[in-house]
Structure formats: structure tokens, C-alpha cells
Amino acid sequence: MVVETAYKQAINKASLEVEEGRYEPRELSRLVNQDEIIDRAMALILSKSEEEVD
């Protein structure tokens, strides 16, 4: 799924930015809820798609 790939890329990028690279991507991913983030992203994408159709 594209959103899962984007999530992984975002974690990698964030690991470099959070506290100047303090966390490795694996460590950072343990601090957040991947399923919740992906679910929220999908809900936002779907709501935006519905707005464009209306």
C-alpha cells in the first residue's frame, strides 16, 4: 500500500530530524502507533476525495 510506504519514509526522515538524529527509525517507530497513523491518513485521503466529488 502506498500509505505504508509513505509511513516508512516519514519515519526515516523524522528519525534524522527529531532531536538531531537521536533516534534510529526502528526506535522512533516504537514510539508511535503505525496503525493509528495509517488509519488517520486513509480517513483524511478519503474525506478529501469525497469533497472533490461533491
Q: What number is the average pLDDT over the span 14-21?
A: 92
Q: Which of 9, 44, 5 is nearest to 28 (CA)?
A: 9
Helix axes 34-53, 2-17, angle to 10 degrees: 120
pLDDT band at 39 (very low <50, low <70, confident <90, very high): very high
Please tell me the predicted confidence (pLDDT) of residue 54.
Answer: 67
Cut 0.85: pTM above it: no
